[in-house]
Chain A
Amino acid sequence: MINAVETIDSTAPSRTEADRSRVRADAEVAGSVIAKSWPLETFIAVNPLRSLEQERFEEAVRIAGQTLGARGTMSEGWYRKQRETGRIGEEDLRSALRRRLGDVLNSPPLAIGRERFSPEAIFLTDLMVGEEAPAPVRTYLTASERFEPGVFDQMNEESSKWCAAYLGAESAGWPMPGRELGFYSAWRELIGLDRTLPAKARKALTDLPDRPEDALLDAIEKIGVPSHANQDYLRSHVGAMPGWTSLVIRISETDEGIDLVSYLAMRVAIEAALLEAKSVSLPVPYIHPDSHDGWQPAPERGRTVAVLTALGALPGSNQDELSAIDGLLAKLPPRERTQIWQEAYEENYRSSLLHELERPRDETEERPDAQLVCCIDVRSEGLRRKFEESGNYETLGFAGFFGVPIRYQDLAGNSPSDLCPVLIEPKSSVFEEPLQGAEKQSERRLARENSVTSAKDGVHEAESNVIAPFALAEMSGWIKGPVAAARTLATRPFGSIRSRLREKTVPAAPTVIDVERDMPLDERVLFAEVALKTMGLTDNFAKVVILCAHGSTTENNPYASALDCGACGGHRGAPNARAAAAILNREDVRELLVERGLEIPGDTFFVAAEHDTTIDRVEILEPELVPEAIKGDLDRISRDLDAATGKLSLERSRDLPGEQPKGKVSRAEAGVYRRSQDWAEVYPEWGLAGNAAFIIGPREMTAGVDLGRRTFLHSYDPNDDAQGEALETILTAPVVVAQWINCQYYFSTVEPVVFGAGTKVTHNPVGNVGVLSGPDGDLKLGLPWQSLADGDRLVHEPMRLLVVIEAPLDRITTVIERNPSVRDLFDNGWLSLAAREDATSGWMRRERNSEWTPWETR
């Protein structure tokens, strides 16, 4: 393929505000090929191709291939292995082929000699024997990448170095000099001192204009990019280092003095300066990005021959017959075969799941002894199943912020945290306060906590300083050495001792959450109403309703927040559970809820709790607030919860590397505890690995079915939602967050180099913003390999999310049609949808053209 070449006159005109405005917008659009990513300290799962969700999945993947060199599916060889092991069945492939090729498969069988072969048989054979397409390569290339690869590498090193200095160094206690000037100005001030660059390049960079837009335009023109190609050219720079770009996009929203224009100005200016210093004659010819990556599949005839050879029919064929098969196979380009495989892979799981949900169910209306409301997180499924097995208990699923978006201020006065999905911003603050009568205890706790924090900060600062670490090692090595040895060699005892020590040093002090200071009563009532109605908890309240948040306890884990609650912005959800319980227990709220058709019985009490997903413990958070009348009940429920979580530890241990598959509960509990305390453990838990479906409906749909901790479960009562408001809330918020999570796991698995974070073994944290793999390079996106796989064994099966709904189909259609962003997700193949009218109806599939067709389960 010959690329179009263009040359321009490089005489630089004077800049107008319109020029600057245009290049800013060009940078913005160029950056849209990759989604913004959050710093590690508040890790938010995102679909790395979120900005491309208005495109069909296949098209988005093609764009990602061109710009990022990223795969969007597994390799064909991998799928063929799944076919050999039975993970993909022939029926799954047939189903995927039918949906993709439709009428093509209905054409008459083709004659080869004396035999006849159906189109389906020919495609099925081609899927197994066709020449495998290689991984995509980037076709959006920078000038240095094309003409002087050494410059490209050096530019990337420089970019990483300066981004790390600006974005990462401050949190490590050593801010970049001149940081207050903003990224571009601070970098321009310092670049003259960078001896890794040739003197000529340093001089050119020191003389850059004051405004980053001007520097960017100058560099682009000097390199020889025609102005109409600016977006494409900037996209080639974005694609070269998507990790840093995506962080810069996010940080630019927080007024930190860095944005895409200043970042790209730095990159392209370095590129131009280095090319000149290498005596490359600028401008270089501009080569438009190619729409193909250069891979030429074998001619159709070769494909046909391979198919007929596999079918044993080649010897009897003639030219006309071969041509007919050439024409048939051309309907499915080889690059697109992996899409068929992917759909077949998903079909296998989905059909089986839907079949499981077709069994008869128990719909008793007896008042349960307790209701446990858990987050929709897939990890809750195991807890709910085990807890329900232990008594007359009902469980429900709702987003783990419990419908209360809050800015949380803790007792210690740390920086407030936004505890809600990132789709919204909290409008109200809540405050942790001493329990009435416990003010003195709180003062003691605070004083001790401040002392401990100050000591920790002092050590951390000394560790981060340039010279101090040497003195620190001399002074503290005698104690830190043995402590490090104890942490490594006796993880569990060390953890227990440390916990006890902390209890003694920082005594517990009962606190409450003040929800009234900043949140008006009508808002509290609205939150309560929406939460209860959306999860369908509108009657048959138990005496004890536990709102069970979740969080994770791990050591030395830069990805710790990825294991916390996604619905709480990557934080532990305990404050939300406490705030929601505080709201729902208030008389004034309950009185107003009655006016809205919600009557909570007087003997019902909401209890806040938190599930630690690493160690499988459920802690009752505010025992002091529990009324005497239900203390006995709660003790019994707590014992059942302990038993349930023990069994859950045992179940989870079967999948955790190095654990005994058939051990005892006590051993499993000890094992998961050790993992949570071990600072060298790279598999503390599996997080949301395996996530594959999002089920919306009453618990009766799924109760008693072992869903393998792979499904998000959102409670929903279609009988209480005639207008579809609750369903709309679920589809536009929790489903969207779950889809981000799902896509992050999916893309981190199929493309661990570009979209994943690689192996933890070589991780090198950059402050608290992200990790590098080794000393430099791009900031890693997505999840580390140890969150997805155990060596070569994938623990996360890469599948796009299936949404399963039990509700009238007309209602589902109406809600989807009036929310284009949700409609895009279904129409473009980012999500799939199975639904049925009620428990007795068959499952229907929403096709991408929005029609409903029967789903054949098996």
Chain B
Amino acid sequence: MDTMGNTLETMETAGLSRMTKVEIVVEGADSHSVREVFRANGASGFTSLSGVSGLGHGGYHQGRLIFNEQATLELLITVVPEERIESLMAGLRPILESSSGVMFVTETWVSRPEYFE
């Protein structure tokens, strides 16, 4: 059995279910649009972390600002079943093409899949 197969078996033995995790970093001003795409595509929830800092193609981004939540970066994370990914990407891609931001999509494993259906 190949490595992927091993991983699958191990995770399933551990009672975990495979899901897809989407992480997006966008400016606070664009975070509402991203959350709307999550909601419209049936994501049952999301996590957001505002005021994240980092270095990207646009240079260094300062973290938390005292009186401006829109200019700082926000990290939004959601987990969805694989079948929702196509529509989720269809909604997110145009938004990312028209604004600055990065997106990471990875396989993830959850113990209570019903929370994410």
Q: Which of A1-48 contact B (CB under 8 A)?
A: 16-22, 24-26, 28-29, 32
Whether, in the assembled complex, A819 has its beta carbon less than 8 Å from a beta carbon of chain B, the answer is yes
A596 to chain B, nearest CB (A): 15
Q: For the complex, is B5 an interface residue (Cβ under 8 Å from A)?
A: no
How many angstroms between the C-alpha atoms of A20 and B26 in the bound complex? 22
Q: Mark B86-117, 1 if CB is under 8 A from A, else 0.
A: 11111111110111100000000000000000
Distance (whole angstroms) from the CB of A254 to the closest CB of chain B: 11
A25 proximity list for chain B (CB < 8 A): 37, 90-95
Q: Please, which residues of chain B bring their CB within 8 A of the CB of A252?
A: 36
Bound: A231/B94 CA distance, A = 9
Q: How far is the CB of B73 from chain A (nearest CB, A)?
A: 9
| CA of A423 to CA of B65, assembled, Å | 10
A733 touches B94 (CB 8 A): no
- List, in ascending order, chain B residues with CB within 8 A of A259's CB: 36
Q: Determine if A32 and B41 form an interchain contact, defined as CB atoms under 8 angstroms apart.
A: no
Does B8 sit within 8 A of A, measured CB to CB? Answer: no
B66 and A26 form a contact (CB under 8 A): no
Answer yes or no: B74 CB below 8 A from chain A CBs.
no
Residues from 37 to 79 in A contacting B, C-beta threshold 8 Å: 54
* Contact between B66 and A530, CB atoms less than 8 A apart: yes
* Interface presence of B69 (CB below 8 A): yes
Complex interface: chain B residues within 8 A of A21 (CB): 37, 40-41, 87-88, 90-91
B-side contacts of A530, CB under 8 Å: 66
The answer to whether A29 and B98 touch across the interface, beta carbons within 8 angstroms, is yes
| A421 at the binding interface (Cβ < 8 Å) | yes
8 Å CB contacts to B: which residues of A380-422?
399, 403, 405, 421
Closest to A16 in B: B87
Most buried by A among B58, B91, B99: B91
Asked whether A736 is an interface residue with its Cβ less than 8 Å from the other chain, the reply is yes
Known: A29-B94, A821-B71. A728 touches B62 (CB 8 A): yes
Q: How far is the CA of A423 from the CA of B66 in the complex (A)?
A: 10
Contact of A18 with B86 in the complex, beta carbons under 8 Å: yes
> B42 — nearest CB in chain A belongs to which residue?
A17
Is there contact, CB below 8 Å, between B66 and A729? yes
Are B37 and A425 interface neighbours, CB within 8 A?
Answer: no
Q: Which of B37, B62, B68, B93 contacts A423 (CB 8 A)?
A: B68
A818 interface residue (CB < 8 Å to B):
yes
- A405 CA to B69 CA, complexed, in Å: 12
Is A424's beta carbon under 8 Å from chain B?
yes
Give the distance in Å from the alpha carbon of A29 to the alpha carbon of B66 in the complex: 29
User: Which chain A residues lie closer than 8 Å to B65 at the CB level?
Assistant: 728-729, 732-733, 819
Residues of B within 8 Å of A822, CB to CB, are 71
**Which residue of A54, A423, A823 is within 8 Å of B67 (Cβ)?**
A423
* Interface residues in A796-826 (C-beta closer than 8 Å to B): 817-823
Q: C-beta contact mask, A726-740 vs B, less than 8 Å → 1, else 0?
A: 001100111010000
The answer to whether A28 and B33 touch (CB under 8 A), given A21-B41, A728-B62, is: yes
Within 8 A of B (CB), among A530-575: 530
* Residue in A253, A405, A424 with the greatest tally of chain B CB atoms within 10 Å: A424
CB distance from A235 to the nearest CB of B (A): 11
A198 to B34, CA, bound (A): 39
Contact (Cβ within 8 A) B92 A818: no
Closest to A25 in B: B94
Chain B residues with Cβ below 8 Å from A24 are 36-37, 40, 91
**Distance of A25 Cα from B99 Cα, bound (Å):** 12
Bound complex: CA A405 to CA B98 (Å)? 32
The answer to whether residues A733 and B41 also contact, given A26-B94, A32-B98 and a CB cut-off of 8 A, is no
Name which of A32, A421, A819 has the most chain B CB atoms within 10 A of its CB.
A819
Q: Which of B33, B41, B62 contacts A17 (CB 8 A)?
A: B41
Top 10 closest A-B pairs, CB basis? A733-B67, A21-B91, A17-B87, A25-B94, A821-B71, A18-B90, A22-B90, A21-B87, A21-B90, A18-B87
Task: Sample 30 A-B pairs with CB under 8 A, ordered by A number.
Answer: A17-B41, A17-B87, A18-B89, A19-B90, A21-B37, A21-B40, A21-B41, A21-B87, A21-B91, A22-B91, A28-B33, A29-B97, A54-B100, A231-B94, A253-B32, A259-B36, A403-B67, A424-B68, A728-B62, A728-B65, A729-B65, A732-B67, A733-B66, A733-B67, A734-B67, A736-B71, A820-B61, A820-B100, A821-B70, A821-B71
Extra pairs beyond A18-B89, A32-B98 (12, CB < 8 Å): A17-B41, A21-B37, A21-B41, A21-B90, A24-B36, A25-B94, A28-B95, A54-B99, A733-B66, A819-B65, A820-B61, A820-B100
Query: Residues of B at under 8 Å CB distance from A?
Result: 27, 32-33, 36-37, 40-41, 58-62, 65-71, 84, 86-95, 97-100
